[in-house]
Chains A and B, each alone.
Chain A
């Protein structure tokens, strides 16, 4: 849940001296930052090295508990769980980045357009956004992937499309606040057009809001991808995915209960990290926000 701030935070806050000092003292920011870094690190490391190959099946060693050789144990097909988790991080990050990217680019464009044009353009865009948001995300995503085919690409598109109305609404609300400011009126008096004002004044000033929103939607994207993969509609085998690991683990609950714990923890930690990071950024970029902390 995010509330649109009544004062718009400024990305210029990054440049204020002492920002990093405050940031490093902010509990949410630090914990969130560390967890997010771990996520990125896991994906990055997996590109060059994993303890075992995640695709290598070894039926002789299936369903083993954590041992020295397999730190987190093995799954139904003898694959190393730790390696699967590391490579699975890649899928999560990929989905997060692209899905948020789609929402950010298209949604922000729509929101900026709505704020710049006002009138029926704004109304139309906002009605469309409201209605899109009335349908639960998971339902739309399931429908789209089931109809257009399962797979990571379609999952990304489905999740990305769902981000568009959210970004559109947030952008429009913040942009409207900027448009009503005096320096914008001054720019218009100088004859600057809507596009120029949007690019030079509005966009830089709402960038902080967008950054915060992006981290939060990233977290939601990871959850959505996990749910879709769990249902078999997301990342397809043999590409490792945390969500699918959970669905496989569920069939083996009685034999190897730990199999269900690790992938879920990975998802939870990644999402937690991103949420905390987003909260931290929100506080740091605008301490004037009079929210109860």
Chain B
């Protein structure tokens, strides 16, 4: 098991390094002189040059890359062009919102998808199956920001149970914070849950065709018990694979959904930074997103080994 983990960890580090190179290069080829953009079209060339030097933009690419990596490892990510505050502070502050939001959304997604997927598979080809699958088709088609607006319409405007946006921070208590994140998390979750429910249903139906399901029934295990104790765990492998991929979709979704709810999270920061050409923030945020995705994939790999004892043993 530890050898398995070690190998996976090495892959993780290598991927992160690769990602950092790609992120750096992609942003390198963006047109526009950052210093020029910050100063505006009327600035004098000397002023622009002075700012360029100050920001270290006149250095060769590899030097800047190295400088950046060094900064990543020591926690000094430079200062934001737009806000003149250390990027690391900005990011950390935003993360206190986005990480709980993403986790909450993932939790909703998982619970909804498993319930819907397993139930549909249990009622295969009957009305319940058709109805639930129709529902998931609609779920996939709904834009998450529209669903967010609808939720606001119903729960904030009409029923006034929730506020229409904004986040006060965690100072008022965990529950208050979670309440503010509830609608955003649901909007993120609905599309992903619909996709995952379909995957779950397929996976469960596949597993139900396996011989050991027949053996379990021959022992007198009821159909329902077979589903939840024998089938589900075997069906989880494809399901968590998709969940891992969905995490990056979820993070991307925060970019739009945080805009809908005016949440000061990481997604909103990225969006604003891109609009402001705040390259330092963009570079670090994208790197952070990439890192989160890679880490989640690593966790998924570890979960495979936990779920399926054959994987642990074969030491891939």
Contacts and interface: CB of A to CB of B under 8 A. Distances in A.
**Chains A and B bind each other:** yes
A221 B310 CA distance: 40
Given A231-B271, A253-B157, A276-B137, A138 B253 contact: yes
A261 B145 CA distance: 12
Contact of B164 (A253, A276, A293): A253
Interface stretch (B46-54, B67-75, B79-87, B193-201): B193-201
Nearest to B247: A136
A254 to B, nearest CB: 6
A241 interface: no
A136 B137 contact: no
A40 interface: no
Interface residues of A, number: 40
B31 A260 contact: no
Interface majority SS (helix, strand, loop, mixed), chain A:
helix
B202 A291 contact: yes
Given A1-B242, A142-B255, A253 B149 contact: yes
Nearest to B275: A146
Contacts of A254: 157
A83 interface: no
B149 A272 contact: no
A134 interface: yes
B266 to A, nearest CB: 12
B251 interface: yes
Contacts of B306: none
B32 interface: yes
B149 A260 contact: yes
Contacts of A267: 141, 143, 146
Contact of A134 (B141, B198, B202, B293): B293
Interface string A246-263: 100110011001001101
Interface majority SS (helix, strand, loop, mixed), chain B:
helix
B17 interface: no
Interface residues of B, number: 48
B143 A147 contact: no
B289 interface: yes
A219 to B, nearest CB: 7
A231 B193 CA distance: 24
Interface stretch (A49-57, A60-68, A195-203, A222-230): A222-230
Contacts of A143: 274, 282, 286
A292 B205 CA distance: 7
B100 to A, nearest CB: 20
B146 A264 contact: yes
Interface of B: 22, 30-32, 124-125, 137-138, 140-143, 145-146, 149-150, 152-153, 157-158, 164, 195, 198-199, 201-202, 205-206, 242, 248-249, 251-253, 255-256, 259-260, 270-271, 274-275, 277, 282, 286, 289-290, 293
Instruction: List 5 tightest A-B contacts by C-beta distance, closest first.
Output: A136-B252, A264-B146, A292-B205, A272-B141, A271-B141
